[in-house]
């Protein structure tokens, strides 16, 4: 296991503008050196924020997890992300840094909690902002506990049972640890977050301490603690981790997610326009509970995903026809292939759920990106289509999360912008609650003791001001609701990193055995012919959980491997 005691000192300091926090890089200095400086001490936890995950293609050379499930297909088959679906995934090719990065963060937190409490920093006492600095210091231990719980969730979500420890451990101790059952870890995360929800601040800007605002607006709050607790409760209740379908776990999940909804809405959070969930200022959107703010202005997401044929565009994560099919018809609320839906095969994109146009670039779209003067052409031989190398294989390009104002042409002065990854937003928890209450009561119309039914929770999401999709009707059968719910979740949370894990926790891996591309041909009369093309992928039930990296098992013989790997 790649965990070492964090021997620390401030080697250098740079600004982590993405979180409005000071980020310190530590190496090869002892604890006594750290104790000498307030900045060195507080910088240890600020450093952990820089390890928080986001899915802008940084891990897989442009590939997002969407391209490892049925949301997207990566345009280049030799990209690292393709190893999830082409049979190359293995303990020797574990495909993820989750194990290493999470345990690195956890060990920093453990050391910080064990060795750096009780300091007074007497040299700062005459400073005007001493109270603010000491608040920041004492609060950092609560942040460390949250961050530790956060990284344990990432580990158990990916690997199931993992070694769990909350004390500093030596390398020898690390290499003898055994795996703790997943439910025990979920329980520990939930209990910790329950405490933190009463200990962490709600708003760092309203503490009445000079020197706090705005430097703390990237730090975790009591709402983030409630959100992690609720998501952990949902996963703990899901079939992958709850094969006996223990209804008490679903009840706990319903309660935790309802708490997020009620607490957040009572304190000014609200659903925004769907189109405002991303963009340079999405971190300040009233729907956001916690975002991972990227360091500085970037354009890598646009470079990876702008259409081939657009200046600077290299294609990348191309939405599948599976993803497109998930968008219902606006007028009827029915799927494209349902009787009476209103779908027109000759104009397949007309009249769809408004979230479709906000998420996906299709043939004929104009002003994408905004400086592009040519309509997008994804029919064979078109400006942005095959046979161009790297052109979309699916007939679509990604729009969500990308900044249309970025211009990658040679003479542009607008080449970068702020990007913030959505970690927790209010909309997710309406969906989480709907799932939990449905599974707990067995009905989409039974609120049990919670006061809001599954249908009512989903309909709140569908009633966004720029969406306004028809409500789910009452009286749906259990199967009908579940199918519509899964579809709604796919649409609402598209490309936010959920689908990859949702299909696993639901044990719906069969949906990952193939994807559908749409091949467009332009006819002589100008009309378009649409042809579906099925692409098979490799799926095996062992892939519900990640393989423990072989390198870790070679160092620790007590680490058993996940089944099938």
Residue with the larger pLDDT of the pair 400 and 217: 400
pTM of the model: 0.94
What domains does the chain contain, in order, with CATH numbers? 1-50+99-220 (1.25.40), 65-96+297-417+513-548 (1.25.40.390), 228-295+425-511 (1.25.40.900)
* Pair 271, 406: CB distance under 8 Å: no
- pLDDT of the residue at 210: 76
pLDDT band (50, 70, 90) for residue 24: very low
The answer, yes or no, to whether residue 27 has pLDDT greater than 80, is no
Percentage of the chain with pLDDT > 90? Answer: 85
Least trusted range by pLDDT, from 6-15, 215-224, 414-423: 6-15
Residue from 359, 294, 390, 333 nearest 66 by CA: 359
Distance CA 495, CA 490 (A): 9
Main-chain phi, psi angles of 516, to 5 degrees = -120, 130
What's the chain's average pLDDT?
A: 92
A 10 A CB-CB count for 281 gives 11
Main-chain phi, psi angles of 161, to 5 degrees = -60, 130
* Cis amide linkage into residue 357, ω under 30° from 0: no
- pLDDT of the residue at 19: 35
- pLDDT of the residue at 37: 87
| pLDDT tens-place string over residues 125-156 | 999 899 999 999 999 999 999 999 999 999 99
Residue from 149, 278, 282, 134 nearest 210 by CA: 134
The answer, yes or no, to whether residue 29 has pLDDT greater than 50, is no
- Could you give the dihedral angle defined by the CA atoms of residues 506, 507, 513 and 515, in that order, rounded to the nearest 10 degrees? 0
Name 93's bridge partners: 90
């Amino acid at each position: 296991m790649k965990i070492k005691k964090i021997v620390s000192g401030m080697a250098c300091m740079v600004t982590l503008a993405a979180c409005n926090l000071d980020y310190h890089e530590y190496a090869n200095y002892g604890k006594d050196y750290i104790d000498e400086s307030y900045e060195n001490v507080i910088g240890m936890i600020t450093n952990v924020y820089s390890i928080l995950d986001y899915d802008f293609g940084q891990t897989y050379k442009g590939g997002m997890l969407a391209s490892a499930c049925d949301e997207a297909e990566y345009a280049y088959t030799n990209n690292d992300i393709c190893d999830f679906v082409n049979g190359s995934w293995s303990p020797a090719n574990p495909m993820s840094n989750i194990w290493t990065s999470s345990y690195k963060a956890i060990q920093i937190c453990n050391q910080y909690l064990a060795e750096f409490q009780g300091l007074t920093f007497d040299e700062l006492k005459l400073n005007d902002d001493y109270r603010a600095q000491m608040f920041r210091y004492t609060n950092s231990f609560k942040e460390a506990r949250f961050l530790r719980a956060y990284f344990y969730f990432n580990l158990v979500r990916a690997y199931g049972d993992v070694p769990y420890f909350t004390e500093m451990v030596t390398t020898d101790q690390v290499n003898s640890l055994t795996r703790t059952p997943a439910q025990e870890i979920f329980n520990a995360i939930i209990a910790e977050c329950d405490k933190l929800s009463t200990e962490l601040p709600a708003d760092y800007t309203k503490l009445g301490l000079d020197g706090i605002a705005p430097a703390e607006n990237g730090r975790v709050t009591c709402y983030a603690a409630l959100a992690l607790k609720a998501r952990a409760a949902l996963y703990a209740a899901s079939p992958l981790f709850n094969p006996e379908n223990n209804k008490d776990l679903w009840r706990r999940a319903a309660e935790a997610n309802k708490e997020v909804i009620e607490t957040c809405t009572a304190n000014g959070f609200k659903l925004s326009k769907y189109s405002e969930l991303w963009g340079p200022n999405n971190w300040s959107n009233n729907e956001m509970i916690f975002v991972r703010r990227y360091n500085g202005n970037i354009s890598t997401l646009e470079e990876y995903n702008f259409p081939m044929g657009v200046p600077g565009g290299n294609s990348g994560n191309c939405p599948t026809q599976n993803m497109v099919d998930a968008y219902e018809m606006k007028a009827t609320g029915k799927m494209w292939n349902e009787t009476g839906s209103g779908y027109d095969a000759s104009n397949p994109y007309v009249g769809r759920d408004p979230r479709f146009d906000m998420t996906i670039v299709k043939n004929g779209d104009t002003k994408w990106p905004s400086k592009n003067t040519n309509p997008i052409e994804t029919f064979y031989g078109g400006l942005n289509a095959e046979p161009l190398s790297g052109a979309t294989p699916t007939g679509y390009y990604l729009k969500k999360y990308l900044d249309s104002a970025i211009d990658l042409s040679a003479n542009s002065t607008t080449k970068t912008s702020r990007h913030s990854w959505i970690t927790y937003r209010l909309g997710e928890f309406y969906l989480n609650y709907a799932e939990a209450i449905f599974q707990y009561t067995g009905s989409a119309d039974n609120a049990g003791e919670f006061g809001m039914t599954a249908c009512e929770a989903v309909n709140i999401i569908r009633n966004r001001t720029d969406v306004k999709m028809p409500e789910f009707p009452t009286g749906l059968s259990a199967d009908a609701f579940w199918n519509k719910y899964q579809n709604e979740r796919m649409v609402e949370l598209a490309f936010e990193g959920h689908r990859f894990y949702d299909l696993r926790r639901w044990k719906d891996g069969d949906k990952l055995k193939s994807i559908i591309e749409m091949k467009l041909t332009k006819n002589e009369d100008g009309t378009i012919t649409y042809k579906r093309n099925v692409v098979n992928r490799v799926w095996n039930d062992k892939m519900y959980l990640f393989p423990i990296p072989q390198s870790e098992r070679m160092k620790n013989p007590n680490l058993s491997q996940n089944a099938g790997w």
